[in-house]
């Protein structure tokens, strides 16, 4: 499935998710988030990125550290991939 393009600036997203913009930069450095970049290097976030930030917030609130958050997000992505594959195979 193609990724939707980023349209929101970091300041807008930080306000949308009620987090400091610095947190978003930290999450990107840790590989939890990959916003699009303009030709000039400005970060642009999509709705999916905003949803992911909400999920990161939930996991942090449950007591996970950033490494734990990364692992949970990777496992959730793998489960979604496997479910899609199973659905595709059932549709044959």
- For the whole model, what pTM was predicted? 0.88
The pLDDT value recorded for residue 5 is 85
Task: Answer whether residue 23 is part of any domain.
Answer: yes
The pLDDT value recorded for residue 44 is 97
Task: Answer whether residue 83 is part of any domain.
Answer: yes
Cα 38 from Cα 81, distance rounded (Å): 29
> What is the span of the domain harbouring residue 19?
10-90
Asked whether residue 2 carries a pLDDT value surpassing 70, the answer given is no
| pLDDT tens digits for range 28-41 | 999 999 999 999 99
Task: Answer whether residue 54 is part of any domain.
Answer: yes
Cα 3 from Cα 48, distance rounded (Å): 8
Task: Answer whether residue 32 is part of any domain.
Answer: yes
Buried b or exposed e, range 61-73, using 16+ CB within 10 angstroms: eeeeebeebbebb
Q: What is the mean pLDDT of residues 9-34?
A: 96
CATH number for 20? 1.10.1660.10
Of residues 66 and 92, more confidence is placed in 66
């Amino acid at each position: 499935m193609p990724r939707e393009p980023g349209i929101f600036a970091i300041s807008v997203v930080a306000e949308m998710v009620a987090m400091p913009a610095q947190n978003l930069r930290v999450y990107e450095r840790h590989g939890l988030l990959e916003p699009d970049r303009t030709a000039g290097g400005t970060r642009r976030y999509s709705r999916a990125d905003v949803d992911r930030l909400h999920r990161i917030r939930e996991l942090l609130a449950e007591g996970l550290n950033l490494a734990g958050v990364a692992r949970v997000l990777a496992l959730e992505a793998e489960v979604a991939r496997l479910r899609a594959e199973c659905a595709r195979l059932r549709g044959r």
